[in-house]
Amino acid sequence: MKRSAAHLIRPEILDMPAYPVADATGYIKLDAMENPFRLPAALRSELGRRLSDVLINRYPDPSGGGLKAQLAACFAIPPEAEVLLGNGSDEIITLITQALARPGAKLMAFEPSFVMYRLNAQFSRVDYVGIPLNADFSLDLPRVLAAIREHQPAVIFIAYPNNPTGSRFERADVEAILDAATGLVVVDEAYQAFASDSLMDLAGKVEHLLVMRTLSKIGLAGIRLGYAASTPAWIEAINKVRPPYNVNVLTQETARFVLEHHAVFDGQAQDLCRERARVAERLAGFAALTQFPSEANFITVRVPDADALHAFLKQAGILIKNLHGSHPLLDNCLRITIGAPEENDAVLAALTAYFE
Ligand SMILES: *Cc1c(COP(=O)(O)O)cnc(C)c1O
């Protein structure tokens, strides 16, 4: 009994549900913001040859073996900034939270937003402060500024654009938060490839700003690579809690290879933005459906009965994310990842069948 997990694991961990990942076998998979497009076949063969030379008997280069400089060049990271690599940006959220977890430290995020912010606060025993968004998923700036004054959070996470809503907050609001913050401000730009703005230009220049990105949403979810850019003092401190070999050799080599060909990914992101516009235009034709403007590779919608529509699409072989029940502001909301044209056509056809 004394040795059992139920006895020894922290009770708040035992009470948590595991992060839900639906079994997508056989479905058109539009639930997780993956890029539907693969690398062209010639590049895949070349990548196979490159990977066959990787020294898998050796530990990875802990500094990323040139990858940081390549990321800086590809993604316009200012020379003042230093870069940290993570096993996905999920790991970077964990490292930041661990490094800041002093007794009494608070982590602030907005609701609804990316759930890993709140979960990491719980994992690291940091107090969580969730500030609700407005009903249209914009920031309630006066409320945020008042909460910063009251709670003095050690870190504020801002998903820019936001998941699961797709909204990009006003840049002026984010800058106002930067001015008011007494701790680190993390701007999570997981969807930057689909967005019209970025704060990367300020990374390394504004002392307490950290800009975080990932290769996951642009076509490399499987390799797990995220990166953070900030001032040297912040990066060097967070680096101390990083497991030394967190980014494996196959991921490092794959990333180096694809960044040499990163125009391919830029083209795919542009195609997805065009598809997003096409889908949005068609969605506007369904009177029973409300959509929220998106700067990400998904569109969040509100319908009369999200559970029923989610089940109907599943029956039609299409997997999307049901947000209903996850937060009061997401009442009857569904999140639809933008896929390949034929996948989006399948969604639109199923919606037509459902609504008409
Ligand atoms: C998907 C997502 C991430 C996680 O990305 P990984 O690099 O795959 O771990 C981080 N932040 C937001 C807002 C996301 O939507």
Q: Is the CB of 212 under 6 A from ligand 1?
A: no
Number of other residues whose CB lies within 10 A of the CB of residue 317: 11
Task: Check pLDDT > 90 for residue 64.
Answer: no
How much is the pLDDT for 223?
Answer: 97
How much is the pLDDT for 17?
Answer: 84
Question: Tens digits of per-residue pLDDT, 268-277?
Answer: 999 999 999 9
Beta strand pairing status for 184-188 and 209-214? parallel
Distance 214 CA to ligand 1 centre (A): 7
- Average pLDDT score over residue span 11-16: 90
How much is the pLDDT for 284?
Answer: 97
How much is the pLDDT for 171?
Answer: 98
Distance 19 CA to ligand 1 centre (A): 13
DSSP structure string for 210-267:
EEEEESIIIIITTT--EEEEE-HHHHHHHHTTS-TT-S-HHHHHHHHHHHHTHHHHHH
Residue 53 CB-density burial (10 A; 0-12 exposed, 13-18 middle, 19+ buried): exposed
Question: Taking all residues of the chain, what is their mean pLDDT, rounded to a whole number?
Answer: 96
Place of tokens 């490839």: 193
- Average pLDDT score over residue span 217-230: 97
Q: Which residues, including other chains, have CB under 8 Å from residue 23's CB and lie 6 or more apart? A: none
Residue pair 229/83 in contact (Cβ under 8 Å)? The answer is: yes
Task: Give CA 205 to chain center in angstroms.
Answer: 23
Task: Check pLDDT > 70 for residue 20.
Answer: yes
Distance 8 CA to ligand 1 centre (A): 31
What is the Cα–Cα distance from 309 to 202, expressed in whole angstroms? 42
Element at 6 (helix H, strand E) = helix 5-8
Beta strand pairing status for 321-322 and 28-29? unpaired
- The amino acid at 309: L
- Average pLDDT score over residue span 245-256: 97
Q: Is the CB of 31 under 6 A from ligand 1?
A: no
Q: Which residues, including other chains, have CB under 8 Å from residue 226's CB and lie 6 or more apart? A: 85, 86, 87, 88, 89, 90, 91, 92, 212, 213, 214, 215, 216
Q: Is the CB of 88 under 6 A from ligand 1?
A: yes
Place of tokens 């790991």: 91
Task: Check pLDDT > 90 for residue 139.
Answer: yes
Residue 11 CB-density burial (10 A; 0-12 exposed, 13-18 middle, 19+ buried): exposed
- Average pLDDT score over residue span 249-270: 96
Question: Tens digits of per-residue pLDDT, 284-317?
Answer: 999 999 999 999 999 999 999 999 999 999 999 9
What CATH number is given for 5-40+263-355 in this structure? 3.90.1150.10
What is the Cα–Cα distance from 11 to 312, expressed in whole angstroms? 37
Question: Tens digits of per-residue pLDDT, 171-193?
Answer: 999 999 999 999 999 999 999 99
Phi-psi region of 244 (alpha: psi -120 to 50; beta: other; left: phi over 0): alpha
Q: Is the CB of 163 under 6 A from ligand 1?
A: yes
Distance 179 CA to ligand 1 centre (A): 25
| Rounded (5°) CA angle 45-47-48 | 65
How much is the pLDDT for 1?
Answer: 67
Residue of 115, 157, 188 to mutate, ligand 1, most atoms within 8 A of C-beta: 188
Topology classification of domain 57-261: Aspartate Aminotransferase; domain 2 (3.40.640)
The closest of 42, 23, 39 to 31, measured between CA atoms, is 23
| Structure tokens given for 96 | 């930041």
Question: What is the number of the ligand 1 atom nearest to the C-alpha of 225?
Answer: 7
How much is the pLDDT for 153?
Answer: 98
Report domain extents, the chain. 5-40+263-355, 57-261
Question: Tens digits of per-residue pLDDT, 75-118?
Answer: 999 999 999 999 999 999 999 999 999 999 999 999 999 999 99
Question: What is the number of the ligand 1 atom nearest to the C-alpha of 90?
Answer: 9
Element at 141 (helix H, strand E) = helix 141-151
DSSP structural state of residue 113: S
Residue pair 50/257 in contact (Cβ under 8 Å)? The answer is: yes
- Average pLDDT score over residue span 156-168: 98
Residue 195 — φ and ψ, nearest 5°?
A: -110, 160
What is the Cα–Cα distance from 217 to 200, expressed in whole angstroms? 17
Question: What is the number of the ligand 1 atom nearest to the C-alpha of 33?
Answer: 1
Question: Tens digits of per-residue pLDDT, 307-347?
Answer: 999 999 999 999 999 999 999 999 999 999 999 999 999 99
How many CA atoms lie less than 13 Å away from 156 in the CB half-sphere? Answer: 25
Place of tokens 């964990």: 94
The percentage of the chain sitting over the pLDDT mark of 90, rounded to a whole number, equals: 94
